[in-house]
Structure 1
Amino acid sequence: VLFPLQYTKLKTLLEDEFPGDLEISGESTPRTSGWFEVEVNGKLVHSKKNGDGFVDSDQKMAKIVSAIEKSIGK
C-alpha cells in the first residue's frame, strides 16, 4: 500500500527538479515492496531491483540527484 504513494512522491520530486531529462519507472509487486528505476539518457542511475534500495533517506536522494546531474552535465 505504501509503495504507490512513495513512488508517486519520488517521481514527482525528481521530474519537477529535472523536467524532461528522466525516465522513471516502477511497479508494486506482491512479494516485495516493488521496484523503482531512474534512467537518464538511457543510463540507469538508480535501480531498486539491482540493489540500490528504495529512496528512504536524504542521503539516497542526494546520491540519485548527483548521478542525474553528472549524467546531464549539470
Structure 2
Amino acid sequence: MKTTISSKGQIVLPSDFRKLDHIEPGAEFSIERIESGEYLLKKLPSGDATGLTDWLLSCPEKGWFEPVPSESTDTL
C-alpha cells in the first residue's frame, strides 16, 4: 500500500489498516530508523480495554457471565 508524506512531515496510515487494527485518532506509535529509507512503525499499547467490549458482546447469551463470590476488602 502506498501513502504520501505531507508538507508537515505527517504520514497517513491507510484506512484499510486503521479499520483492520481498530486504530482510532490519538493512537500512539513508536518509529525506529532501521537504515536509510527503511523504518519500523509500531503501535504502542493504549492501556485501555481495546477489544474487551467486542469480546463481551460475543458472549453466547445474555446472563452468561455470573459474578464471582468474594470476601469484602473493607476491613483490610
**Normalising by the residue count of structure 2, what TM-score does the alignment of the two structures yield?**
0.29
- Pick the structure with more helix per residue: 1
**Normalising by the residue count of structure 1, what TM-score does the alignment of the two structures yield?**
0.29
Greater C-alpha Rg: 2
- Pick the structure with more strand per residue: 1
